[in-house]
A and B are shown apart, each in its own frame.
Chain A
Amino acid sequence: MRLLLRALLIAFFAFVIAVPFVLPMYPETLATEALILGLFAMSIDILAGVAGRVPLGHGAIFGVGAYVVAYHVTVSGGSAWIGMLLGIATSAVVAALFGALAVRTTGVYFLLLTLAEGMIVWGICYRWTSVTGAENGIRGVARPALISDPHIFYYFVLLTVMMAAFLIWRLVHSPFGQALRGISESSSRMRTLGYNVPLTLTIAFTLSGVFAGLAGILFVLLNNFVSPSNVSLDQSTQGLLMVILGGAGTLWGGFVGSAVIIVLSNLVSAYTERWSMILGLMFIVTMLFASEGLIGKAKALVGARSAGRKTV
């Protein structure tokens, strides 16, 4: 079983690396998008899956990164590389602010507070015409010459996302990650153990925001375009749905969720204009029969099988 799993994983990674050679242009773009949104989902998973705080405002942090790059490149005429650094820095600042305000709450209050924070950013992007272009957004964000080719851009995204994913994985499996898990299980116990719970959560929120912002930056480089819909509630829920679909707390689940949603929405919409209904039904079915998400369910199935073998 293990061997088979390993073989499947290796085959999968080989496929991911070979994408520009085996897939035509359009599916390749979809794969790029799936990687980017997978990273976005993973950043949400740090809070939702590990720290037990479900945020509904990460779309705003994602979008802030995108807007800063777009503004820097088109209006100020600066280099996209510098823009990326500025974008990450801004996302981190916004996330730190969001975090500092929200971390003292839990559950539905945390959800609503982050939702409100996201809406503020959306409101700013929607109204501040001279800077954000309001409803029309900012367009014409050209990629730097080095990564302008779509194949090279795919590898650039793949590399960036893999490095970011590794960092997130390290973070979650570090003592800091353990502290987050502890907070998720019982913040009062962590407090008595001497942990500064709000500070730990604020740091986690900020780090999560850095990765969400990075995803937003890659996204604007892919689409050459950013508009208020990228900072909207829709963007936040989309990321969260990807996490839940793939499996909260599994980290890699975000990629599974994003791949499934992107591929399905493209396949289904080719056959019916009611595609969003089909996606909705799929979410309901997943929640009913695999509430731990696709990765969670797969793990449980594999676990049950090998446990069953051992007893025989």
Chain B
Amino acid sequence: MDRRKFLGIAAGSAAALLVSLDPLKVLAQGGPIRIGFLSPLTGAAAASGRELVDGWNLYWQQAGTKIAGREVQVIIEDDGSTPDIALQKARRLVQQQNVHVLVGDILANTGLAVAEFVKGTGTPYFMPVVAADDLTQRKRIPNVMRMPGFSSSQMTRPLADWCLKQGYRKVATIGQDYTFGHEQTGGLVQTFTEGGGSVVGQLWHPFNTSDFSPYLGQIPGMKPDVVFAVETGADSTRLLQQWATFGLKGHIPLTTSQNTTDQSIIRNLTPAEAEGIISVAHFAEGRDDPETRSFVQSYEKAYGKLPAIFAAEGYTGGLWLADALKKINGKVEDTKLLLATVHSEVVLNSPLGKNLKMDDYGNPIFDIYIRRVTKRADGKLWNTVIATYPQVSQFWHYKPEEYMKQPPYSRTFQGIKK
């Protein structure tokens, strides 16, 4: 390459760089409503991230992208499943692309990074998935809300109550050894032991455990009435498969967190492996309800598969935000008004259930379902509802102030009542 050519290329690319980095002009009110949507499209949570985006897109395809005469523009960015990239992308969306609202992220650490960033900018940030307890508890940020995400321990408490009602008194737990696993298990064992149950053993395994035999082998010796498992992704698949191949299925009742029997997992499993497993979630694709049914049908038509929880959360996130924006006539620039509206409104109907609303800490109160994996008429596995706990808050039956005095759940603090 000769020098002239080199300089030409260098100058050209430098110019291209400057042009592309140039921020879009700040838009006057009346321009489009700009929403930045972050989702892991690469990395560990990529598969779930895809479904989150699909669900979100499905809502806007159905509802149209006009609110109060303003166009709704969604800019989708990959958060790479890591906090540093999530933070970088959030910065770009807010500082360069001037989005009015941020939505998204799945993994707790990515959500926490973005939350920390918007604490400084004041940008409203709505999380359809991120579950880290403290975000809407001890370390709350006013402009950060879960919509319609849940806090980790909120989800498992109704399951503990259900287990007690089945007459189970001794529980063994197995879970991924990180904060999300600790929090979900903590919610369960605290409620379970306060209701008179006891914990006969807790097993923690690292992410991506390929062989569960060292853990599953210990369980029969503990003689539990019921086992609770919190798994995500490939760990869920392997746990359920090995649970069946070791012959534990059918002998010891297995209950799980929402992700373990999520549609994204059980659509690849056989009935022998998954049928009959109990789980808890704020969404059940097999729930007999017109709103859920129509969502499931249209999702299945659009993407050729039954929706995972992430899809339902993406869809409902769109629905909830759109509802709020309609109420304030599209005045998205008025951050205070938007946040207050989101806070006070009740989403009457959604694929998740009826009457979704925020508690005082920016975390939704919704119906939580105890689900069982069953076969649909065409042979596909899905989750159907066997019990409903209406209007469950993240604080269960505790007083928020009292509850937040206890430390966050961890491997060492599980809230077990002796």
Interface residues of A (CB under 8 A from B): 1, 23-27, 29-30, 33, 126-127, 129-130, 133-137, 139-140, 223-225, 227-230, 234, 263, 266-267, 269-270, 273, 275-276, 301, 305
CB atoms of B109 and A224 under 8 A apart: no
For window 48-103 of B, CB contacts with A under 8 Å fall at 77-78, 80, 82-84, 87-89, 91-92, 95-96
CB atoms of A273 and B87 under 8 A apart: no
Q: How far is the CA of A211 from the CA of B411 in the complex (A)?
A: 34
CB atoms of A26 and B92 under 8 A apart: yes
Q: What are 6 contact pairs spanning A and B, CB under 8 A? A: A25-B23, A129-B182, A139-B112, A139-B116, A227-B112, A270-B20
Q: How far is the CA of A227 from the CA of B111 in the complex (A)?
A: 12
CB atoms of B83 and A225 under 8 A apart: yes
Residues of B with C-beta under 8 A to A267? 17, 20
Asked whether any CB of chain A lies closer than 8 Å to the CB of B132, the reply is yes
For window 114-128 of B, CB contacts with A under 8 Å fall at 115-117, 119-120
Least distance between A277 CB and chain B CB atoms (Å): 9
Residues of A with C-beta under 8 A to B406? none
Residues of A with C-beta under 8 A to B83? 137, 225, 227, 229
Residues of B with C-beta under 8 A to A25? 23, 95-96
Asked whether any CB of chain A lies closer than 8 Å to the CB of B166, the reply is no
Least distance between A172 CB and chain B CB atoms (Å): 28
Least distance between B231 CB and chain A CB atoms (Å): 15
Residues of A with C-beta under 8 A to B303? none
A1-B3, A24-B96, A129-B179 given; 7 more Cβ-contact pairs under 8 Å: A26-B21, A135-B179, A225-B113, A227-B83, A269-B89, A276-B80, A301-B6
Q: How far is the CA of A137 from the CA of B134 in the complex (A)?
A: 12
Residues of B with C-beta under 8 A to A30? 88
CB atoms of A273 and B116 under 8 A apart: no
Residues of B with C-beta under 8 A to A139? 112-113, 115-116, 139
CB atoms of A134 and B179 under 8 A apart: yes
Known contacts being A129-B412, A225-B87, A273-B78, is A23 close to B116, with CB within 8 Å? no
CB atoms of A136 and B17 under 8 A apart: no
CB atoms of B84 and A223 under 8 A apart: yes
Contact for B109 among A227, A263, A273, A275, CB less than 8 A: A227
Contact for B116 among A134, A140, A276, CB less than 8 A: A140
Q: How far is the CA of A301 from the CA of B9 in the complex (A)?
A: 15
Q: How far is the CA of A27 from the CA of B18 in the complex (A)?
A: 9
Q: How far is the CA of A112 from the CA of B155 in the complex (A)?
A: 42
CB atoms of B95 and A29 under 8 A apart: yes
CB atoms of A263 and B17 under 8 A apart: yes
Least distance between A11 CB and chain B CB atoms (Å): 10
Count: A-B pairs, CB below 8 Å: 103
Residues of B with C-beta under 8 A to A133? 179
Known contacts being A229-B83, A230-B84, is A135 close to B109, with CB within 8 Å? yes
Main secondary structure of the interface of A (DSSP, over half): helix
CB atoms of A136 and B3 under 8 A apart: no
Residues of A with C-beta under 8 A to B386? none
Q: How far is the CA of A227 from the CA of B180 in the complex (A)?
A: 14
Least distance between B107 CB and chain A CB atoms (Å): 9
The 5 closest A-B pairs by CB, nearest first: A26-B95, A26-B96, A129-B410, A135-B179, A135-B178
CB atoms of A136 and B132 under 8 A apart: yes
Least distance between B85 CB and chain A CB atoms (Å): 8
CB atoms of B87 and A223 under 8 A apart: yes
CB atoms of A301 and B87 under 8 A apart: no
Known contacts being A139-B113, A273-B41, is A229 close to B91, with CB within 8 Å? no
CB atoms of A129 and B411 under 8 A apart: yes
Known contacts being A129-B182, A225-B83, is A29 close to B112, with CB within 8 Å? no
Known contacts being A24-B21, A129-B411, A276-B42, is A136 close to B77, with CB within 8 Å? no
Residues of A with C-beta under 8 A to B288? none
Residues of A with C-beta under 8 A to B20? 267, 270
Asked whether any CB of chain A lies closer than 8 Å to the CB of B22, the reply is yes
Asked whether any CB of chain A lies closer than 8 Å to the CB of B1, the reply is yes
Residues of A with C-beta under 8 A to B177? 127
Residues of B with C-beta under 8 A to A136? 108-109, 112, 132, 134, 179
Q: How far is the CA of A133 from the CA of B3 in the complex (A)?
A: 53
Least distance between B292 CB and chain A CB atoms (Å): 30
Least distance between A271 CB and chain B CB atoms (Å): 10
CB atoms of A126 and B178 under 8 A apart: yes
Q: How far is the CA of A284 from the CA of B25 in the complex (A)?
A: 37
Task: Mark contacts of B138-154 with chain A using CB atoms, 8 A cut-off: 1 yes-contact digit, 0 otherwise.
Answer: 01000000000000000
Least distance between B120 CB and chain A CB atoms (Å): 8
Q: How far is the CA of A96 from the CA of B301 in the complex (A)?
A: 60
Least distance between A91 CB and chain B CB atoms (Å): 19
CB atoms of B77 and A269 under 8 A apart: yes
CB atoms of A225 and B95 under 8 A apart: no
B108: nearest residue on chain A (CB-CB)?
A: A136
Known contacts being A135-B180, A273-B41, is A225 close to B21, with CB within 8 Å? no
CB atoms of B96 and A229 under 8 A apart: no
Q: How far is the CA of A306 from the CA of B116 in the complex (A)?
A: 52
Q: How far is the CA of A275 from the CA of B41 in the complex (A)?
A: 10
A267: nearest residue on chain B (CB-CB)?
A: B20
Least distance between B20 CB and chain A CB atoms (Å): 6
Q: How far is the CA of A263 from the CA of B41 in the complex (A)?
A: 20
Least distance between A224 CB and chain B CB atoms (Å): 5
Known contacts being A29-B95, A136-B179, is A225 close to B112, with CB within 8 Å? yes
Least distance between A212 CB and chain B CB atoms (Å): 16
